[in-house]
Amino acid sequence: MEIKSKNLRELDQICSDIRNRIIDVVSRNGGHFSSTLGAVELTVAMHKVFDVKKDPFIYDVSHQCYPHKLINDRWDSFETVRQFDGVSGFTKPKESKADYFVAGHSSTSISLAVGAAKAISLKGEDRVPVVMIGDGSMTAGMVYEALNELGDRKYPVVIILNDNEMSIAKPIGAISKYLSKILAGKFYQGFRDTIDKNIVQKLPEGATYIAKKMEESMKLITPGIIFEEMGVDYIGPIDGHNMEEIIDTLDIAKNLGKPVIVHAKTVKGKGYQIAEGHHEHWHGVGPFDLQTGEFKKKSAGKSATAIFADALLDLAKKHENVVGVTAAMPSGTGIDKLMKEFPERFWDVAIAEQHAVTSMAAMAKEGFKPYITIYSTFLQRGFDQIIHDVCLMDLPVVFTIDRAGIVGNDGETHQGAFDISFLRFIPNMILMAPRDEKTLIEAINFTHSLTSPCALRYPRGSFAELPFEATPYELGRAELLKEGKSKKLFIGYGAGVSRAVATEKLHKEDIAVLDLRFVKPLDKELLTKLSKKYNEWYVFSDSQKQGGVGSAILEFLNEEQICVKMTSFEYGDDFIQHGDTKKIEESLGLLPKQLVDRVK
């Protein structure tokens, strides 16, 4: 889509067309919604001022990248956004050269921009990295690590702070607004540079101090003091929906030749009135009715997240030492329910997984029982803290891992494939997974008695209903759900148990089914016993094969010199694409009807 040659009226029309396209497709397919609608004018202005063919366009998280995709050769294919084999919901260089980097996790953009700026400087090229980052992403420490270096090195980088939910610092009435406009103007920027180069640097020491203090006093009544103090220029706040104002400001920022933050105030859901404002449930949506805004109902049962939240709430009512934390996902993890009931015991620490883990380690040392509830994909961000601050101290912290396994439409950056592999090798860590609703409740209650670190994983959506009673948990004890007449044994872990049961039902042979319950420690006694009766083992688990459940069992078999034939139906050595979960499973050969043939 041609943007460079368009005038303001034409650009406004393009924004309207982009919004209508997003609203139409997302209402039918689902996807990220309110954040991407709020970023339309900012995105169009970026393409007007900068050159996407040479300037790195870096979107933080990139859930606001739909306008960028529509501008860059995906108008027709956008119909397939987040669908299997369709357009990704995040930036993806394999789709288009206009997508600079894969993104899906928060707060990486400024670090990427610093790296790009260093490379551009070394190559002597005329290119300017431009970042779009949301105010929520500014809660993560990685942002300030990057800003710290950027402010010191002074590489030319333009950072657009898309403030669509809360102010970084509240502007002070009309005076602040007036001064912000002055600060955005060429006169002030030129005046400040002139004063610095021609006056301040040549004045006696006492006069220099006074001049600097005058400049600092101006910053104090603007919202950008935190950035200015880090050495990054600040412009704003500006109206993020006023095309002329955005273009003028970005032109100034681009030509400054140094790092600058442009603070733009936007409205989430802009253009679809029902979604406008601070409505969290409009961030990422399923299909909905355009006229009423009502979401199309799903027939699925109670989600694992909701079951977990209710079970932990009951546990917190019984035990006053139960505390908990999440990292910017209170409603997504169900912790919002506990925060409402016990606001002094459950916290959202924003996008700060490292801080979440280490702060709860200290609480465990003080005698509390912390539950850290984070999506599998985001727990990766706290990996060092899990090792250094929890497991090394052998503290009784419980990691309740939501969205374990395939999560569907969010794709490669969000699939919960790796938690077993990266947690299993850490000393003192206990790994367990329930198979259904009843065992999840039993598992939550069991974790309270543990005196070592523990990780408990459960899937997105609802569990399959299984015809087995939930027996109490014992550390390192598996449960044989069904004896078999054949020589085959199906070993299920977590949600993999239901796949094992479904596959067994379709198979002509009578096959034994084991719920492993724990992958660390393994039930070596029962596995040794079962090896004498069953010599063909098949592992069912929603996890990566390398370092996963099958690996743990193979290590045990090798140590004990037990000879059985074992096959693992875990995920292969690849990142799993986005799309409908069943279509993904079919592509991986993991549907029960496919597994029957693989067993045969």
* Cα→Cα distances 353→107, 253, 422, 457, 545, Å: 12, 32, 16, 17, 25
Shared domain for 122 and 233, answered yes or no, is yes
- 206 domain residue, yes or no: no
- The CATH number assigned to the domain holding 569 equals 3.40.50.920
Shared domain for 140 and 13, answered yes or no, is yes
Q: What does the block give as tokens for 348?
A: 């959202």
Shared domain for 274 and 315, answered yes or no, is no
Is the peptide bond prior to 396 cis by the omega test (within 30 degrees of 0)?
A: no
* Cα→Cα distances 276→65, 265, 295, 387, Å: 18, 14, 16, 42
Shared domain for 229 and 371, answered yes or no, is no
- 260 domain residue, yes or no: yes
- 350 domain residue, yes or no: yes
- 124 domain residue, yes or no: yes
**Below-70 pLDDT ranges, the chain:** 165-223, 278-280, 298-300
Neighbour count for residue 533 (Cβ, 10 Å): 11
Which tens digit of pLDDT belongs to each residue from 157-202? 999 999 886 444 444 455 445 445 555 555 555 555 655 665 555 5
Shared domain for 445 and 497, answered yes or no, is no
Is 381 annotated as catalytic? yes
Shared domain for 248 and 354, answered yes or no, is no
- 203 domain residue, yes or no: no
Alpha-carbon distance of 95 to 209, in angstroms, equals: 53
Report the pLDDT value the prediction gives residue 47, as an integer from 0 to 100: 97
- 446 domain residue, yes or no: yes
Shared domain for 98 and 137, answered yes or no, is yes
- Beta strands (DSSP E) in 390-438 are 398-402, 430-432
- 179 domain residue, yes or no: no
Which tens digit of pLDDT belongs to each residue from 306-355? 999 999 999 999 999 999 999 999 999 999 999 999 999 999 999 999 99
Shared domain for 445 and 411, answered yes or no, is yes
Q: Which of 41, 353, 504, 585 is an active site residue? A: 353
Q: Which of 268, 435, 460, 520 is an active site residue? A: 268
Report the pLDDT value the prediction gives residue 164, as an integer from 0 to 100: 80
Alpha-carbon distance of 539 to 221, in angstroms, equals: 62
Q: Which domain holds residue 425?
A: 304-457
Shared domain for 251 and 393, answered yes or no, is no
> Nearest Cα to 318, choosing from 302, 341, 335, 352?
341
Q: What does the block give as tokens for 594?
A: 């496919």
Shared domain for 126 and 80, answered yes or no, is yes
Alpha-carbon distance of 9 to 243, in angstroms, equals: 9
- State how many domains the chain has: 3
Q: Which of 82, 265, 345, 381 is an active site residue? A: 381
CB under 8 Å to 291, separation ≥6 — which residues? none
Report the pLDDT value the prediction gives residue 135, as an integer from 0 to 100: 86
- The CATH number assigned to the domain holding 438 equals 3.40.50.970
- 210 domain residue, yes or no: no
Report the pLDDT value the prediction gives residue 176, as an integer from 0 to 100: 47
Q: What does the block give as tokens for 203?
A: 């004045």
Is the peptide bond prior to 171 cis by the omega test (within 30 degrees of 0)?
A: no
Is 353 annotated as catalytic? yes
Alpha-carbon distance of 69 to 47, in angstroms, equals: 12
- Cα 344 from chain centroid (whole Å): 26
Shared domain for 414 and 536, answered yes or no, is no
Is 499 annotated as catalytic? no
Q: What is the largest CA-CA distance in the chain?
A: 95
Q: Which helix (H) or strand (E) holds 520?
A: strand 518-520
Report the pLDDT value the prediction gives residue 277, as an integer from 0 to 100: 74
Shared domain for 412 and 340, answered yes or no, is yes
> Tokens 């063909």 appear where?
536
